[in-house]
């Protein structure tokens, strides 16, 4: 099932279809924000380069770019407002990853992956699972393959691919291995959210203890 949505920046829907579409985004955002947490100054996080902070998963660099795009003054991401969080995630990740064009479960999984890996990378991972050219763009071929796929199987394979991506990333950059356990737990929780199953395909323990 392919869905279409075009909402204004204020996120104020004017029709029932837009209300339903907006609710999917808000549900996706709710899940992602639970994983991202609040404000972080962890110097080991690449998003906190040069002493900057990350607020609700949004880096200073991303916040600066978003403010420049709309002709707004540059300020610390730690001062970001709730409405800005919603609009930035909606514009730069939800729409950018084309999550709004799919069913709720795919939208939630694709959006969360886009937030954590970037929209283009998230689309590429999905395309790799579909067995088509991973060009990072959602066109007619990608849409057709997603429409024809079994949703449950597609989501499960997509989440496995995301786990494989994290493991490969940590092999290339061992300094990031400290985050691997948390990343895999995030995928585990996402799997529960969109598939309702607790199975993990990770070799790493999920407990924080």
Q: What is the pLDDT of residue 52?
A: 76
Query: Helix, strand or coil for residue 81?
Result: coil
Residue 1 CA, distance from chain mean position:
20
Q: What are phi and psi of 39, to 5 degrees?
A: -95, 135
- Arithmetic mean of pLDDT over the chain: 85
**What structural domains and CATH numbers belong to the chain?**
16-150 (1.20.141.10)
Residue 192 CA, distance from chain mean position:
16
* 188 vs 208, residue with greater confidence: 188
* Short-list 28, 26, 32, 30, CA closest to 13: 26
pLDDT tens digit sequence for 65-122: 999 999 999 999 999 999 999 999 999 999 999 999 999 999 999 999 999 999 999 9
pLDDT tens digit sequence for 174-194: 999 999 999 999 999 999 999
Asked whether the predicted pLDDT for residue 202 surpasses 80, the reply is: no
Q: Are 81 and 72 in contact (CB under 8 A)?
A: no
Q: What is the pLDDT of residue 206?
A: 35
58-59, strands of its sheet edge to edge: 39-40, 54-55, 58-59
Average pLDDT over residues 135-139: 94
Helix (H) or strand (E) run with residue 54 in it: strand 54-55
Query: Helix, strand or coil for residue 8?
Result: coil
């Amino acid at each position: 099932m392919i869905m279409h949505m075009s909402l204004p920046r204020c996120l104020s829907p004017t029709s029932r279809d837009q209300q339903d579409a907006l609710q999917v985004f808000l549900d996706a955002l709710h899940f992602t924000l639970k994983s991202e947490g609040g404000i972080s100054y962890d110097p080991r996080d690449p998003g906190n380069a040069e002493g900057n902070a990350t607020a609700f998963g949004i880096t200073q660099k991303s916040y600066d770019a978003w403010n420049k795009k709309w002709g707004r003054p540059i300020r610390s991401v730690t001062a970001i407002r709730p409405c800005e969080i919603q609009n930035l995630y909606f514009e730069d990740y939800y729409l950018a990853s084309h999550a709004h064009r799919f069913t709720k479960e795919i939208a939630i999984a694709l959006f969360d992956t886009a937030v954590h890996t970037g929209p283009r990378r998230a689309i590429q991972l999905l395309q790799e699972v579909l067995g088509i050219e991973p060009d990072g763009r959602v066109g007619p071929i990608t849409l057709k393959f997603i429409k024809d796929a079994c949703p449950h199987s597609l989501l499960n394979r997509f989440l496995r691919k995301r786990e494989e991506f994290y493991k490969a990333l940590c092999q290339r950059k061992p300094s990031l291995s400290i985050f691997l356990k948390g990343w895999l737990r995030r995928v585990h929780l996402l799997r529960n959210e969109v598939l309702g199953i607790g199975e993990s395909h990770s070799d790493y323990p999920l407990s924080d203890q």
